[in-house]
Amino acid sequence: MDTIQIKPELIAPCGMDCSICRAYLREKNKCPGCRAKNVDKSKHCITCAINNCPELKKRKMRFCSSKCDDFPCDKLDNLDKRYKTKYSMSMIENLDNIRTSGIKKFIINEEKRWTCSKCGGTICVHSGCCSDCGKIRE
């Protein structure tokens, strides 16, 4: 059992915390996260329109933000709606928290939110279960 420790490079441009993603948490073919090089990355991360957004690169932004004239764009808005509905997590809310509180405080809050109360492992956003002990998120 590892205690959850989120690194800033695991927060994707869309606001997704890759450390709580099933692709990152799995044992086989583990995804290194959206910001990593494309080697071993999940196909949907490699082809992600948000991660490959020309505006992010042009403006040298680390995250989608209110600095972008198209924030939130349709792609981010659709992703956010899907995650709010299926997983009770909002990418746009994450981005707002990063903007207002900073990445360090956001990470501290994420660690509290996604750490299993039973074993200290990581709760997967997609399954709602601890990746170490299987406990369902409260």
What pLDDT digit, counting tens, does each position of 23-63 carry?
999 988 888 988 888 777 778 888 889 988 988 888 888 89
The answer to whether the predicted template modeling score (pTM) of the entire model surpasses 0.85 is: yes
Dist. CA 89–CA 110, nearest whole Å: 11
**Residue 29, phi-psi category: left (phi > 0), alpha (psi -120 to 50), beta (remainder):** left
The predicted pLDDT at position 25 comes to 93
Q: Which one-letter amino acid corresponds to residue 4? A: I
1 occurs within a structural domain: no
How many domains in the chain?
Answer: 1
pLDDT of 101 higher than 60 = yes
Q: Which domain holds residue 72?
A: 8-114
- 123 forms bridges with which residues in the sheet? 130
Three-state DSSP state, 115: strand
- DSSP classification of residue 15: S
54 occurs within a structural domain: yes
pLDDT of 88 higher than 70 = yes
- DSSP classification of residue 123: B
108 occurs within a structural domain: yes
Dist. CA 85–CA 83, nearest whole Å: 5
99 occurs within a structural domain: yes
- How far from the centroid of its chain's Cα atoms is residue 14's Cα? 7
Dist. CA 122–CA 18, nearest whole Å: 11
50 occurs within a structural domain: yes
Top-confidence residue, 45 or 114: 114
